[in-house]
Amino acid sequence: MNKIEAKADVTGSVWKIVASVGNRLAPGDTIMILESMKMEIPVLAEDGGTLVALTVAEGVPVQEGQVVAVLEA
């Protein structure tokens, strides 16, 4: 299996996690939504795969480039 890391595009905080571990995601599906400067920025599954890990929780601050989820293709 090929591991795919989903990373935060911005520095902010995790507003809402919308996918659960074990979900099969298609390319472009939303994994979670980050909040930064009163804007909502989705973290998308760029490639399809099964969500195997979330490395953050709702309300947690994240840095740009931080791995927030791991998928297996």
pLDDT band at residue 10, thresholds of 50, 70 and 90? very high
Planar angle of CA 12, 18, 64, nearest 5 degrees = 25
pLDDT one-digit tens code per residue, 17-70: 999 999 999 999 999 999 999 999 999 999 889 999 999 999 999 999 999 999
Can you give the residue ranges of every domain in the chain?
3-72
Side-by-side strand order, sheet with 3-7: 3-7, 67-72, 49-54, 24-25
pLDDT one-digit tens code per residue, 36-50: 999 999 999 998 899
Q: In this structure, are residues 50 and 22 in contact, taking their beta carbons and an 8 Å threshold?
A: yes
CATH topology of domain 3-72: OB fold (Dihydrolipoamide Acetyltransferase, E2P) (2.40.50)
DSSP string, 7-53: E-SSSEEEEEE---TT-EE-TT-EEEEEEETTEEEEEE-SS-EEEEE
Q: Is the pLDDT of residue 1 over 80?
A: no
